[in-house]
Amino acid sequence: MVDFKKLPSAGTALAFIPGTGEDLCLGMENGSVAVLDRTLQVVTAFQHSRQPISSIKFSPNRKLLAVGSKDTNIYLYSVPAENGTPAYSRLGVCRGHAAPITHLDFSFDSRFIQSNDESYKLMFWNKWGDLQTHGMNGKITNQTKWATITCTLGWECAGMWAGRY
């Protein structure tokens, strides 16, 4: 261990801004999110859930932050630009899961999010929190490229889960 920071609640999910290693984003047991710089100073903190944060992911273009919660919602935030935008601001909420969120992935173009929950549901969202249907207007299909593949349910692992799709 090189350094540590005592925070008001235990950490439950963690993410770095991709490609930079800057801004460590920590989801906590009390439902809050803290953003720390590389010296572990809290840059900002915010809370929209009262349940533990279960998954956190930055978009590949570094403009969005998705925060999955045990309250079954995914909270979407704009990430401050380097030009000094003051804070993370909430853009939308993905509502539709019936169980706590387990995994999140952004598409390569940062337009879409795929998510899994504890009831083995796979859902797709746009960056405003609107539910997207498979193949809707050709937007999300099995050809959609994902920046990460942490979801345990999805096109990439459909053969593992016979009968779930």
Q: What is the pLDDT of residues 126-152, one digit of tens each?
A: 988 988 876 545 466 677 899 999 998
d(CA 90, CA 110): 16
Single-letter residue type at 150: T
Average pLDDT over residues 8-29: 87
| pTM, two decimal places | 0.88
Report CA-CA distances (Å) from 9 to 85, 104, 135.
27, 22, 40
- Can you give the residue range of the structural domain that contains 36? 11-160
Does a structural domain hold residue 4? no
What's the mean pLDDT when you consider all of the chain?
A: 86
Mean pLDDT, residues 86-93: 86
Number of domains making up the chain: 1
How many alpha carbons lie under 13 Å from residue 165 in its C-beta half-sphere?
Answer: 13
- Residue 88, domain member (yes or no): yes
CA distance 100 to 151: 14
First to last CA, the chain: 43
Statement: residue 157 has pLDDT above 90: no
Region 56-82 average pLDDT:
93
| Structure confidence at residue 143 (pLDDT) | 77
The 131-132 sheet, strands edge to edge:
101-106, 112-117, 122-126, 131-132
Q: Distance (Å, rounded) from C-alpha 68 to C-alpha 100?
A: 8
Judged by phi (left if over 0) then psi (alpha if -120 to 50, else beta), residue 29 lies in alpha
Average pLDDT over residues 10-20: 86
Q: Tell whether 165 is covered by a domain.
A: no
The percentage of the chain sitting over the pLDDT mark of 70, rounded to a whole number, equals 86
pLDDT band at 121 (very low <50, low <70, confident <90, very high): very high
Residue 78 belongs to some domain of the structure: yes
pLDDT for residue 81: 76
CA distance 103 to 17: 17
Residue 86's pLDDT is: 61
Query: Helices (DSSP H) in the chain: which residue ranges?
Result: none
What is the DSSP secondary structure assignment for residue 144, as one 8-state letter? Answer: -
Q: Is 2 domain-assigned? A: no
Instruction: Please tell me the predicted confidence (pLDDT) of residue 133.
Output: 72
pLDDT score of 84: 60
118, 109 in Cβ contact below 8 A?
Answer: no
Provide the pLDDT confidence category of residue 109 given band limits of 50, 70 and 90. very high
pLDDT at position 5: 84
At residue 37 the predicted structure's pLDDT band, cuts being 50, 70 and 90, is confident
Q: What is the CATH number of the domain that holds 15?
A: 2.130.10.10
